[in-house]
Structure 1
Amino acid sequence: MRIFIMRHGEAQNFAPSDAERPLTPRGEAQSRQMAEWLAQQLDGQLAMAWVSPYLRAQQTWQTMTDALPAPAKLMTVEDITPYGDAEDVAAYVKAVVDLERPETLVIVSHLPLVGYLTAELVVGMQPPMFQTSAIAAIDYNPETGKATFLEQAIPHG
């Protein structure tokens, strides 16, 4: 199965709270660009998508939906905020994958979680840096629990 871990698009620096920071126009454009790349990877099917409840992650997902196949299951996941625990989230990913066996999972989240989660899933990997709208592609085998880092796609411009 494939897991795609994405950092939200570029967000404004100031808002009443961190959770309320909206995307910038550049963040929207980068997210649309990455949706086109992701659509090619998904080959017409998206089993599951998890999105952080923070505004910038929700807006990133909304910006991408026109280019992506509709997910069979879309969830707002409270534990994938910037303050999420990578070990707990990785355990949750593995449990859901083991139980539901989705072919694809897209996670739209934040720094630092995206880097730590990638490293938690791919044993021995250092947490990669994520530009805004960047996506890490991971091949995960639910039978063995082993994950392989495939690539990281970054927006242009």
Structure 2
Amino acid sequence: MYIYIMRHGDALTNFKFDELRPLSDYGVFQAMQAGKWLKQFTVDHHTDVSVGLVSPFLRALQTFEQVNESIKVKSTTELTELIPSGKPIALHVYLDQLAQSDPDLKGVLLVSHMPLVSFLLDELCGQHLSEIFSTASILCIDYSVEHASGQVITRFIAD
């Protein structure tokens, strides 16, 4: 199974409530680029992204909308566990349960925030990679449900 961990696109600043910050025009462009890259990856690897898990923060939802224009995810869920202060271990358990409930699951896209995306990458790969995600970047993990661990196989970094 492939797990795609994505940070939201570039967002506007100076909002009273962090969760209401929208994407900037550049962030929309970045997310569109990411969607095209992800679509090409799925075609090249004969796979798909059947599940989207998204932070309820506006910028993450808008990022997912743009990416989904290219990949057409079958099922989408907003998860409060994907907010910036989310717990990587809880998400790891959630992903394992999701994969065990659907043995045909080929790909899951998570759209979230720093620092959670970095901590989640470490949790899923079982090592401290301390990756700093630029906006709208995606890291693809080839994940083994049997071993509850994976490794990074490729990445996308937006212009």
TM (norm. structure 1) is 0.93
1:67 to 48, 67, 70: 70
Residues 42 and 104, structure 1, Cα contact 8 Å, conserved in 2: no
Residues 49 and 71, structure 1, Cα contact 8 Å, conserved in 2: yes
Q: 2:78 — aligned with what? A: 76
Instruction: Read off the aligned partner of 1:132 and give its amino acid letter.
Output: T
Instruction: Read off the aligned partner of 1:21 and give its amino acid letter.
Output: R
2:88 to 86, 89, 92: 86
Question: 5+ unaligned residues in a row in structure 1: which ranges?
Answer: none
Distance 1:127 1:40 in 2: 27
Residues 73-95 of structure 1 show CA distances to partners (whole Å, capped at 9, x for unaligned) of 11111110101011111121112
How many pairs does the alignment contain?
A: 155
Question: 5+ unaligned residues in a row in structure 2: which ranges?
Answer: none
SS of residue paired to 1:150? strand
Deviates more, 1:23-32 or 1:37-46: 37-46
Distance 1:18 1:88 in 2: 23
Deviates more, 1:119-128 or 1:27-36: 119-128
Q: Give RMSD over aligned pairs.
A: 1.3
Q: Percent identity?
A: 30
Deviates more, 1:53-62 or 1:142-151: 142-151
Residues 9 and 27, structure 1, Cα contact 8 Å, conserved in 2: yes
Question: Does the alignment pair 1:133 with 2:136?
Answer: yes
TM (norm. structure 2) is 0.92
Instruction: Read off the aligned partner of 1:65 and give its amino acid letter.
Output: N
Offset, 1:152: 2.1
Question: Does the alignment pair 1:143 with 2:159?
Answer: no
Distance 1:64 1:71 in 2: 9
Question: Does the alignment pair 1:39 with 2:42?
Answer: no
Distance 1:110 1:56 in 2: 9
